[in-house]
Amino acid sequence: MVVEELRRLLPRLETIATETRALAFGLPELDRALPQGGLAFGALHEIAPQDARDLPCAFGFAAAILTRLPRTAPVFFVFASRNLRFSGRPHGHGLNALGLDPARVILIETDHDKQSLWAMEETLHAGVPATVVGIIDKELDLKVSQRLHLAAAASGRLLLLLRPAGAIAASAAMTRWRLRAARAACDRFGLITHACWHVTLERCRNGRPNDWLVEFDHAAHRFSLATQLADHPLPHRTNTQGARRAG
Amino acid sequence: MLVVDGPGGGRIAALNDEAEKAGAAIGEPLADARAKAGFLQVRPAESEADTAALHRLALWATRYTPTVAPWGEQDGADGFFLDITGAAHLFGGEEKLLGDLHDRLSAFGLPSRLAIAETPGAAWALTRFHREPHKIIGADTELFALSALPIKALRLSPETATALQRLGFKRVGALCEAPRAPLAARFETELLRRLDQALGRMAEPLAPIVPPPVYYSLRYLLEPIGAQEAVVSVAKRLMQDLVYALTRDGVGARALRLSLYRVNGLVSQIEIALTRPTRDVAHVGKLIDLKLERLPDMLESDFGFETLGLAVTLAERMEPAQAEIAAFAGDDDPECTAALIDRLRQRLGPRSVRRLAPVESHIPERAEVMTAAACTAPAWPQPDDTQMRPLLLLPRAEPADVTALVPEGPPQRFRWRGVTYAVSGAQGPERIAGEWWRTQTEVPTRDYYVVESDAGHRFWIYREGLYDRETTSPRWFVHGLFG
């Protein structure tokens, strides 16, 4: 009897500090799956690509989430320079095209992941009204993720962590998202209009894990479900005579 | 005995007491000295090492006063001036200061000749030519003190000195009594300038080893310290001392220099740059702490630090703090962000915290720069929907093997980093011509395509060179990745 009562209280206790505020996706299907009706502030949220080639999609999803924040809120990207040597560096014009004003962005480059974790914690503890996005290359253990989660909880800010593909280690994160590339949405002329991702909510405390095919409108900063499975091919607008090798 | 090469063999540059007793003299040919005393040891003089050593010692001497000027070539390059105006009382008077300086130099194994006078010229003359190794003369007694010294005490060039000797002038006193006009006519400006400088009739600016800071505070410790916490705590007290002067002048520190004086005479300096002017003691303490963490070997030493000095090397106007308003602003506090950026920079390096700023250029890799993260953000233009730009730009474009249906068409399939991608859709080209006004050589035109693989990965690919017009075998590169 008492146990049942406690079990009923438990979810409320766990989220007691954060249940007041959350960043809604503005997409009812996604928001309903999350107990706070969106990404809870003051919590750690993980985003991982399905495989290494999906990292740009994971980064794009994180950037898309950031566009939902108030326009002036600064964003701190924290990453070790050598981690991004392979996948490329954040490009201001690209962020701009996705609807995230690069003027809000501050890049913090470190030498290795350990420094990145320190910089993330330091930023959260500083009382700066910033959202922190960390990009790390290594598995992080439960303890470190707990520290980050506590730092986020103390600051009441959003902490997004881009983890490497294949991350399965336990973590204290509130949610974990898995991103996979999907064919982009096109208009009737075959021009790409919206980015599109396979979004999987893998883990969510008190939430309902699910997967969706999500489009993002960079002009309106709006998420929507893709109307059809993106299997409409982009037409090649060239003549189709025998292939020739160039290069 | 130290020797430098000169015309007609080596000449003596420096010698110790033993050699002097044996009859050798500075400037004498080496052969003469050998003839007088064959037992003398001879080593080549290392003037660069001497200069470096003097520089180190002069840096150490900034523990007495921030204005320390090592002697230049014409002063003999073997000592330095300390401007102790307003510094002597810290040591309990000029005699005590001189005694302290002597004791410490002796502890380093350096014999010293010291003098305090109103003018650098007089002090120089006294250290060189006065009988007593320590001499202090009061104001307006230069003439009396110098008159018995030889004319070389005026820092004259050898030619002038020889000419004066020939004219019969031996002592400074005789020179002072002589009428000025003939001297001025005979010796141009040098002689009278030196005379006036020594007697305080003409100002002689010093060239300090480090620019003297506007705000400076110094602490002498009873016991040397070596622990990081101790250094930080003393530095915080030093900053506390400076806050009064900074507040009075309505300025804040933009750059600070912490000088750590070791017991063995070496000086370490820590430079700290700030994003915004500050008077915050705790913040400065934190920055010094982070900086020391990055420099662990600075603290590793057998010798501790006996003196710490904190100088504001750059001060900037600071708006009076509006505490009440800041408390309400809460959510958008530039002070707070600036303090955070400072802390990150101290720990991660000066180029670690940056912003992206747009540049007017069509070449993608040139279209943005990284700027220091100041508090004002650069303004970005509205995005142009007709130009797709990748979220991640590769540090440099990477070659790809591309199969295209026609050489001037979009790719059909491409191989990049060992993986073959089948292209299911391509958008483009967006033609970007080279900036021919920048370089002498011809820069090939690039045709950019956004290509989508059948799995949905999107790439930014370009073909370098216009087919037929610029090249017959265009090359392909992957330049960026879309999210």
Residue A244 counted as domain residue: no
Rounded to the nearest angstrom, the minimum Cα separation between B396 and chain A is 9
Residue A245 has pLDDT above 70, yes or no: no
What B280-284 contacts at long range (C-beta under 8 Å, 24+ apart), as own/partner pairs, is B280/B339, B281/B236, B281/B239, B281/B240, B281/B243, B282/B236, B283/B339, B283/B342, B284/B235, B284/B236, B284/B239, B284/B253, B284/B256
If you count residue pairs, one on A and one on B, with CB atoms under 8 Å apart, how many are there?
A: 233
Q: Is residue A14 part of a domain?
A: no
Q: Is the pLDDT of residue B99 over 70?
A: yes
Look at B483 and A129 and tell me if their CB atoms are within 8 Å.
no
**What is the per-residue pLDDT for B132?**
82
Environment class of B417 (CB within 10 Å of its CB; exposed 0-12, middle 13-18, buried 19+):
exposed
CA distances, A54 to each of A177, B265, B296 (Å): 13, 58, 40
- pLDDT at position B16, please? 80
pLDDT(B24) > 60 = yes
In this structure, of A126-130, A232-236, B332-336, the range with the lowest mean pLDDT score is A232-236
How confident is the model over A143-175, as pLDDT tens digits?
999 999 999 999 888 999 999 887 677 888 999
- DSSP string computed for B297-361: HHH--SS-EEEEEEEEEEEEE-PPP-HHHHHHHTTS-HHHHHHHHHHHHHHH-TTSEEEEEE-S-
Residue B181, number of CB atoms within 10 A of its CB? 8
Residues of A whose CB is below 8 A from B388: 97, 192
* pLDDT at B325 exceeding the cut of 60: no
Would A38 be classed as within a structural domain?
yes
pLDDT for the residue A117: 93
CATH number for the domain that contains residue A72? 3.40.50.300
Is the pLDDT reported for residue B333 higher than 80?
no
The answer on pLDDT for B73 being more than 80 is no
pLDDT at B143: 82
Query: Is residue A117, in this structure, part of any structural domain at all?
Result: yes
Q: Please determine, for residue B330, whether its predicted confidence score (pLDDT) is greater than 50.
A: no
pLDDT band (50, 70, 90) for residue A241:
very low
Higher pLDDT, B1 or A223: A223
φ, ψ of residue B434 in degrees (nearest 5): -65, 155
Q: Give residue-wise pLDDT tens across range B126-144.
A: 888 888 888 888 877 888 8
Rg, Å, chain A Cα set: 19
Q: What number of CA atoms fall less than 13 Å from residue B5's CA on the CB side? A: 0
pLDDT > 60? residue A240: no
Q: Is the pLDDT of residue B235 over 90?
A: yes
Query: What single DSSP character describes residue B471?
Result: B
Predicted confidence (pLDDT) at residue A238 exceeds the cutoff of 50: no
- DSSP type of residue B171: B
Q: Which candidate from B379, B391, B395 shows the least CB-CB separation from A94?
A: B391
Instruction: Give me B342's structure tokens.
Output: 């400072």
d(CA A214, CA A232): 16
- Determine phi and psi for B252, rounding to 5 degrees: -130, 160
What confidence score (pLDDT) does residue A167 get? 62
Instruction: State chain B's maximal CA–CA distance in angstroms.
Output: 102
Residue A243 lies in a domain: no
Rounded Cα distance, A91 and B356, in Å: 8
Minimal Cβ distance to B344: which of A57, A89, A108: A108
What does the pLDDT read at residue B480?
93
A105 lies in which domain range?
A: 21-177
Would you tell me how many other CB atoms lie within 10 Å of the CB of residue A140?
21
Per-residue pLDDT of B82-97, as tens digits, reads 888 878 888 888 888 8
In this prediction the ipTM stands at: 0.83
Q: Which helix (H) or strand (E) holds B86?
A: none
- Where is pLDDT greater, at B255 or B36? B255
Phi/psi at B475 (5° precision): -105, 155
- Per DSSP, A53 falls in state G
Contact of B237 with B229, CB cutoff 8 Å: no
- What's the pLDDT band for A14 if we cut at 50, 70, 90? low
Residue A200 lies in a domain: no
Q: How far apart are CA A24 and CA A43, in angstroms?
A: 14
Q: Which of B10-24, B40-54, B234-248 has the lowest mean pLDDT?
A: B10-24
Provide the 3-class DSSP secondary structure of residue A186: strand
Predicted local confidence at residue A247, as pLDDT? 40
Q: How many domains does chain A have?
A: 1
Residue of B40 and A178 predicted with greater confidence: A178
Domains and CATH numbers, chain B: 2-45 (3.40.1170), 52-199 (no CATH), 215-346 (3.30.1490.100), 392-481 (no CATH)
- Looking at residue A20, its pLDDT comes to 53
- Which of 47-86 (A) contact B at CB < 8 A? 53-57, 59-61, 63-64, 72, 74, 84-85
A111 close contact with B: CB closer than 8 A: yes
Is residue A151, in this structure, part of any structural domain at all? yes
Chain B hits for A235, Cβ within 8 Å: 425
